Structure 1
Amino acid sequence: MKKYKKIAIVRLSALGDIINSAVVLQFIHKKFPDSYIEWVTEEAFAPLLKEHHLISKTHTINLKKIKKDKNFSLLKKNISYLRSLGEFDIVIDMQGLLKSAIVSRFISKNTHGFDKESSREGLSSLFYKTTSKIAYEENIIKRNCFLTSDALGFKLDDEMILNKEAIFKVAKSNFIDVQKTNIVFIIGASWESKKYPKEKIIELCNELKESAIIVWGNENEKKDAEFICNHSSYATLAPKLSLIELLSLISSVNLVIGNDTGPTHMAWAQNIASITLFGPTTTRMIYETQINIGIKSNSKVDILKINKNDFSIKSIEVEKIVKRAKELLNYGI
Structure 2
Amino acid sequence: MRVLIVRLSSLGDVVHAAPVLGDLHRAHPGAQVDWVVEEAFVPLARSLAGIERIVPFALRRWKKSLGAAWPEWTEFWRSLRSVRYDAVLDLQGLVKSALVTRAAVLAPGGRRYGLANRTDGAAYEPLARLAYDVALAMPPRIHVVDRSRELAARALGYAVEGEPVVPWRPPPLDPQDARWADPRDVLLVHGSAKLVKLLPTAFWSELGRRLVARGAQPLLAWGTADERLRAEAIQREIGGSSAVLPRLPLDRLAAVMLRMGGSIGLDTGLSHMAATLGRPTVQIFIEDKAWRAAAYWELRTAVVQASEVALPTVEQVLQAWERVA
Range class of TM-score, shorter chain: 0.7 to 0.9
Shift, 1:171, TM fit: 2.8
1-side partners of 2:63 and 2:166: how far apart?
Answer: 37
The 5 Å alignment of 1:1-333 reads 5-50=1-46, 52-71=48-67, 73=70, 77=74, 80-81=77-78, 84-108=81-105, 110-118=111-119, 120-157=124-161, 159-161=162-164, 164=165, 166-172=167-173, 174-176=178-180, 178=182, 180-208=183-211, 209=214, 210-232=216-238, 233-283=240-290, 284-288=292-296, 289-299=298-308, 315-329=311-325
Whole-angstrom CA distance in 2 between matches of 1:52 and 1:240: 20
Distance 1:73 1:226 in 2: 38
Give the aligned CA root-mean-square deviation in angstroms.
Answer: 2.4
Cα distance in 1 for partners of 2:33, 2:181 equals: 37
Is contact 1:140-1:286 (8 Å) kept?
no
Distance 1:224 1:79, change over 3 A: closer
Cα distance in structure 1, aligned partners of 2:82 and 2:275: 32
Q: Offset of 1:200 from its aligned partner? A: 0.8
- 87 and 248 in structure 1: CA distance in 2 versus 1, 3 angstrom threshold: same
Shifted more, 126-135 versus 84-93: the winner is 126-135
Q: In structure 1, how many angstroms separate the alpha carbons of the residues matched to 2:247 and 2:208?
A: 21
- In the alignment, is the contact (CA less than 8 A) between 1:11 and 1:100 conserved in 2? yes
Q: Residue 170 of structure 1 aligns to a residue in which SS?
A: coil
Query: How far does residue 117 in structure 1 lie from its aligned partner after superposition?
Result: 4.9
- Supply the AA of the counterpart residue of 1:205: G
Query: 1:67 corresponds to which letter in structure 2?
Result: K
Identity %: 24
Q: Where does the alignment leave 5 or more consecutive residues of structure 1 unmatched?
A: 300-311
Offset of residue 207 of structure 1: 2.0
Point out where structure 2 has 5 or more consecutive residues left out of the alignment: none
Q: CA deviation at 1:9?
A: 0.4
2:181 touches 2:260 (CA, 8 Å); kept in 1?
no
The AA in structure 2 aligned to 1:242 is P
Q: Which amino acid aligns with 1:261?
A: T
Aligned mates of 2:166, 2:77 — CA distance in 1: 36
Q: Tell me the amino acid that sits aligned with residue 112 of structure 1.
A: Y
Q: Judge which range, 47-56 or 246-255, deviates more.
A: 47-56
Within 1, Cα distance between the matches of 2:207 and 2:57?
40
Q: Deviating runs (4+, > 6 A) in structure 1? A: none
TM-superposition CA deviations, 1:255-307 (whole Å, max 9, x none): 211111111110122122211112235111223133223212113xxxxxxxx
C-alpha separation in 1, matches of 2:86 and 2:51:
16
Q: Look up the match of 1:305.
A: none
Partner Cα separation in structure 2 for residue 205 and residue 275 of structure 1 = 14
User: Against the structure 1 CA distance between its residues 67 and 144, is the aligned structure 2 distance closer, same or farther, given a 3 Å change threshold?
Assistant: same
SS state of the match for residue 307, structure 2?
coil
Contact 1:117 1:135 in 2 (8 A): no
Sort the Cα spacing of 1:12 and 1:177 in 2 relative to 1 into closer, same or farther, 3 A. closer
Aligned to 1:302: none
SS at match of 1:59: strand
Q: What is the alpha-carbon distance in structure 1 between the residues aligned to residue 42 and residue 284 of structure 2?
A: 27
One-letter code aligned to 2:242: A
Q: CA deviation at 1:112?
A: 0.6
CA contact 1:7–1:91 (8 Å) conserved in 2: yes
Alpha-carbon offset, residue 175 of structure 1: 2.3
CA deviations over 1:38-78 (Å, ceiling 9, x no partner): 11112221122235431111111222234333559469626
